[in-house]
Each structure stands twice: as structure tokens, then as C-alpha cells.
A and B are shown apart, each in its own frame.
Chain A
Amino acid sequence: MFNFLQKKSFWTILITALLLLVIMKLSSSNRQEITVLEKLLRDSYSPLQTGVDKLKIGINQISVGMAHKKEIEEQMVALETKNNLLSLENQQLRENKAEVERLRSLLAYKQAQQDQYDLEAARVIARSPNNWYKIITIDKGAENGIAGGMPVINPDGLVGRVVSVSTNSAQILLITDREMAVGAILQETRETRGIVEGMGDSGTLRMINIPYYSQVRVGENVVSSGLSETYPPGIHIGSIQVVTKESNGLVLSATVSPAVDFNQLEEVLVIKKYRQVEANGNKGA
């Protein structure tokens, strides 16, 4: 009956399966370093992926150029005019900025809000090769000072965080991934705190643990609370779509529409360092 115990193949399969299960547990998403094998694999892929990305841009440019040559020429003239106007406006804004900075210094703010982040711009060169994870690969890695755990944004809002880094590329776990959770707060009221978590769908997030007495309104903006050390406070996450009462009656949950269009994500900004501006004007790293 137990003849299979004497078979070499049975033990090979059993040991392999057990070994893989142990490795699986050890290689959780919180690893700070990746193995040499993983680094080698990703570094061999990244030039190819960058090549495909550049090829895609080239093809897009050629096809757009061919299709809309006249339109583009007209647009160029219009843009040049607009550029001149914007240059003038920019000069005025610089004046205003100087004034704002003077006022800020009066209020004991040592630096303006835009100086909070030390940013590194990167291009998205690849996406998750399967449907289970929501990850993207960028063309900047350890050589550019990228490290695991760094938050990633784009002008629209929070994108995710760096999970692993190789020499020339890094993987970003998107906030839409099923494993992601970000401490969040409602921007207008500043009262309601909760956790925004990914649902594995690029168009939906969920805010949980909202106290039942909170006045959450549809359309309100959700920003990072800054309670965790990973994400700086005040980064736009999305807006409330639907509010529902949980079955226990003690907390509410809400569907949040992400601020970032994850299907159109082409460039991102990695926050290498950030300084928190406190109410009294002091800053902490």
C-alpha cells in the first residue's frame, strides 16, 4: 500500500514542494534585498524592456506625425503663441512666489511645500507579467539612488512604493495591489482616518476602518495621513465614490476612485527623501 514511499520520484517531488513552500514564506513582499539571481534576471530584462518602450514611443510619434501633420503644424503655431503668454504669466507668478515665500518665512515655514521632496523621475518600462500582482518596472535602480520602501507618486497622486531594486531597474507595488494598505485621511475635514487598500483592480480602492460617526461625503478627496513612515502626508490618493456601513455597524467603508490612471501610467516620480513640514515650521526627516 505504501510502495510509493520507496519511489525516488516521490521523495524528489515532496522535498521540492516543501522547499518551495519555505522559500515562498521567506520571500514575502517586505524583503529589502533581492538575490543575485533575481538581480541578474531583471538587469538582463531591463535593457530589452527599455528598448521596447522606446520603440513604442517612436512608433507612436511616427504614426501620430503621419496622421496629423497639418494639425500638428497648426498646433505648433498655437502653442508658440500660448508659450509666449505663459512666459509672461510665469514672470508674474515668480513675483507672486517670491511674495509667498516672504510670507511663509514670516509664518516660520523654512521651506516651501514643493521643496519637501527629493524626487527622481523614471519611466515605466514594464508591467506585471501576470494578472495576480499589480506591479510596474521602472528604468531607474540602485545606480540612481532608488531603494526599497521609497514612495512613488506622479502629478495626479500616490502610485505605490518601491518593493525591490536591481542595478538599473526597480519594481513598484501599486496601491491597487491586493496587498497594499495606506494610512489615509479625508482632505477637507481632516477628521476621518482610515486605511485605503487595493482590490487588485486598477479602477477601485477601498477605504476601511472609518468610524461610524464620520461625516464622509461622496466626492471628498482622500490623502495619505502620514502616520506610517513610508508615505509622506498629504499625497492625493483618490476620491470617495460610495460609502457603506459594515455589518458590525461600528465602522464604515468606502469605495475610492484612485487619482492616478494606472492604465495610462508612463512616468512616475520616486520620493527619495522627504521632509515633513510641521505646524511650528520645524522639519523632520
Chain B
Amino acid sequence: MRYLILALLPFLALFLQSTIFRTFNINGAIPDMVLVLVVFYALLNGDRKGTMYGVMCGLLEDLYIGRFIGINSISKGITAYVIGRLQGNVFKENIIVGIIGVIGGTLLNSGLLFILSLTSFEVFNLDHSIFIDMVYQGIYNTLIAIPMYVWYYRSSSRGLLREVGER
């Protein structure tokens, strides 16, 4: 059940990102719910599992978009690895940890996407708007991270996302 939910969550996040959040955008920017999920998963499950989940979620996003397949897999995989390294060193019960993880994850993921875009795209027109988008996305991600972390942490410790044997 746990794995089914973990597999369905990025599907649902992509669906919401492409429909409802487009209506409720902040200055044209939408949140990256898939990234938020990856950050939470890595924070609670460590770098190894986190990286795998990050790569899979990124791949799903890449396949949906259908362009430069792998770009989100790499960026989300690396982001999850870095966040996952913090697993044993932070007090995960504190929501601030989740929020800081999301802010750091957004910055790292955006930076990686930016570098990968510059090296991969044949044409990639650049101006300041890309950085403005990053800032707005960071704010939006932080806003949705608050209720999401509360639910995710509860679910992971005593709900549907709890690992079998950890009762």
C-alpha cells in the first residue's frame, strides 16, 4: 500500500501542476509539488532511497513533458541525494527542517536544471525572468510545503506511508 501511494503521489502532483495550479499561479510561476515530495521522501528515508525516488519522479515528469528526457531525473536525483545526506543529522519532527529542506532543494534543483539546460539545449534564451521565476517558485514551494510536510510526516510515522515493521 505504501509503495502504491508513493507511486501515485507524483502522478497526482503532476496532474495538479498542469491543471489547477496553472489557474492559481503566482506571477506565472507554479509550485513544483513533485520536488517537494522528493525532498520530504529523501529527508525521511535517506540518500540512497531518496535518490532512487528522485530519479523515478523526475523521469515521470520528463516522460510527461517529452523533451530532454532525463533532465529532471538527474536534477531531482542529485537534489534528493544531497537532502538525503541530512537524514541522520536533523530533527525531522520540526516543520522548519522540512521548510528549509524545500527551500534548499528548490534552489539546488533550479540551479542544476539551469546548468543542464545551458549545456543541453541548442537554443536557450536567457534573461533575468528565469531567476524571478525561480524566486516565485521557491516562495510557492515553501507555502505548499507547510501543510504537505505536516501530512507527510504524520503519514510516514503513523499513517499510510509508514514503513512496515516500524510500528
For chain B, residues 1 to 39, give those with C-beta under 8 angstroms from any C-beta of chain A. Answer: 14-15, 17-20, 22-23, 28-30, 32, 34
User: Does B129 contact A17, Cβ atoms closer than 8 Å?
Assistant: no
User: Does B74 contact A20, Cβ atoms closer than 8 Å?
Assistant: yes
The interface residues of chain A lying within 8 Å CB-to-CB of B117 are 132
User: Does B123 contact A27, Cβ atoms closer than 8 Å?
Assistant: no
CA distance in complex: A179, B30 (Å)? 20
Question: Any chain A CB within 8 A of the CB of B163?
Answer: no
Query: Quick one: given A201-B129, A202-B28, are A132 and B113 in contact (CB under 8 Å)?
Result: yes
Query: Quick one: given A130-B30, A131-B137, are A178 and B20 in contact (CB under 8 Å)?
Result: no
User: Does A27 contact B15, Cβ atoms closer than 8 Å?
Assistant: no
User: Does A24 contact B120, Cβ atoms closer than 8 Å?
Assistant: yes
User: Does B29 contact A131, Cβ atoms closer than 8 Å?
Assistant: yes
User: Does B65 contact A128, Cβ atoms closer than 8 Å?
Assistant: yes
For chain B, residues 71 to 121, give those with C-beta under 8 angstroms from any C-beta of chain A. Answer: 71-74, 77, 113, 116-117, 120-121
Selected from B71, B122, B129, the residue in CB contact (under 8 A) with A24 is B71
For chain B, residues 25 to 62, give those with C-beta under 8 angstroms from any C-beta of chain A. Answer: 28-30, 32, 34, 48, 51, 55, 60-62
For chain A, residues 1 to 49, give those with C-beta under 8 angstroms from any C-beta of chain B. Answer: 9, 13, 16-17, 19-29, 31, 34-35, 37-38, 41-42, 45, 48-49
Q: In the assembled complex, how far is the CB of residue A174 from the closest CB belonging to chain B, in whole angstroms?
A: 12
Query: Quick one: given A45-B15, A129-B65, A130-B32, are A21 and B121 in contact (CB under 8 Å)?
Result: no
Selected from B30, B66, B133, the residue in CB contact (under 8 A) with A164 is B66
CA distance in complex: A27, B74 (Å)? 15
CA distance in complex: A34, B121 (Å)? 18
User: Does B48 contact A9, Cβ atoms closer than 8 Å?
Assistant: yes
| Residue of A52, A130, A163 with most chain B CB atoms under a 10 A cut-off | A130
User: Does B51 contact A56, Cβ atoms closer than 8 Å?
Assistant: no
For chain A, residues 88 to 115, give those with C-beta under 8 angstroms from any C-beta of chain B. Answer: none
User: Does B70 contact A130, Cβ atoms closer than 8 Å?
Assistant: no
Selected from B18, B19, B28, B125, the residue in CB contact (under 8 A) with A206 is B125
Q: What 9 A-B pairs have minimum CB-CB distances, sorted nearest first? A: A20-B70, A24-B70, A129-B17, A126-B18, A27-B69, A127-B22, A201-B129, A129-B18, A52-B19
> What is the interface of chain B, defined by CB distance below 8 A to chain A?
14-15, 17-20, 22-23, 28-30, 32, 34, 48, 51, 55, 60-74, 77, 113, 116-117, 120-127, 129-130, 133-134, 136-137
